[in-house]
Amino acid sequence: MTLKRSIILIVLVSLWASCGNKPDGEEGVREDLTAKQMLQGIWLDDETEMPLMRIEGDTVYYTNPLNAPASFKVVHDTIYIYSSSPVSYKIERQTEYSFWFHSLPDEIIKLHKSENSEDSLSFISREVEVISTTPEVVKKDSVAMYNGTRYRGYVYINPSKMKVFKRAYSENGISVDNVYYDNVVHICVYEGKQLLYGRDVTKKFFSDLFPEEILEQTILADMNFIGVDDKGYHYQATIGVPESSVFYLVNIDIGFDKQLSIKKAE
């Protein structure tokens, strides 16, 4: 291959890579920086006169301290909000002091820019309030006899600082992220007085069983002893979406050869 052809090939590959991950509707289009500049400030709901969001730089902040800030762009007649799952809202009207856009249920949210400095008090805290699903360490013991041998297992469900972002929806039909702390579970099993197995388990432990989009919005919620038999000592882990009824069960088998295996519960 000639040097000239090699250079052309490298340029084409670079251009393809730079355009590969843009959200729908943005490809090949520049951001509207004038529209973004007009959005700077605090925006109030036309009907309630209550602050709904504050836009500063590239970030949208919400009044609810549970809602994580998100970056945004304006392209043509659409505002793109980059939360855990990016969403877009069609802009109905935008002036320096008025901003109307379509919510996810396709209702028009009508906002106007605040001119009252006291409205900034609704955004006084810049720290997102993270919800702890396990406020303190939970300890679980289990004892079982098998073939004349006494087995004892320990489970410690430890709160961590690992964050999980879960999509939620405001009463206005706006997609927001609530933030939760995940858990780290320590399990150890004794065969008589000898340690058979011990390790820390996190949600990433199940990455071969579940798609990334499921693991991203779930927490490692629980771990329970379910029995001992000729195949070993058995636990069942629960991973679930915080504050919902959606959960998944995983069987964890610790063999007498000190090997561990996992599979989805049937």
pLDDT digits (tens, 9 = 90+) for 198-209: 999 999 999 999
Domain segments of the chain: what residues? 22-123, 131-264
- Same topology for domains 22-123 and 131-264, yes or no? yes
pLDDT at 45 over 70: yes
For residue 20, what pLDDT is reported? 35
End-to-end CA distance of the chain: 56
Percent of the chain with pLDDT over 90: 67
Kind and range of the H or E element at 3? helix 3-18
Predicted structure pTM score = 0.72
pLDDT, tens digit (0-9, with 9 covering 90-100), for 123-180:
876 678 888 888 889 999 999 999 999 999 999 999 999 999 988 888 888 889 999 9
The amino acid present at 116, given as its one-letter code, is: N
CATH no. of 22-123: 2.40.128
Lowest mean pLDDT among 3-7, 50-54, 151-155: 3-7
Cβ contacts of residue 205 below 8 Å, gap of 6+? 262
pLDDT of the residue at 84? 80
Q: 86: buried, middle or exposed (CB in 10 Å: 19+, 13-18, 0-12)?
A: middle
Strand partners, 148: none
Determine contact, residues 107/100, Cβ cutoff 8 Å.
Answer: no
Residues in the chain: 266
Please tell me the distance from the alpha carbon of residue 255 to that of residue 189, in angstroms, as a whole number. Answer: 11
Residues with Cβ within 8 Å of 262's Cβ and at least 6 positions away in sequence, in order, are 205, 206, 209, 250, 251, 252, 253
Residue 53 contacts residue 44 (beta carbons within 8 Å): no
Per residue in 237-266, pLDDT tens? 999 999 889 999 999 999 999 898 999 997
Q: Which CATH architecture has domain 131-264?
A: Beta Barrel (2.40)
Q: Is the pLDDT reported for residue 92 higher than 90?
A: yes
What DSSP assignment string belongs to 144-187? EEETTEEEEEEEEEEEEEEEEEEEEE-TTS-EEEEEEEEEEEEE
**In whole angstroms, what is the distance from residue 98 CA to residue 43 CA?**
9
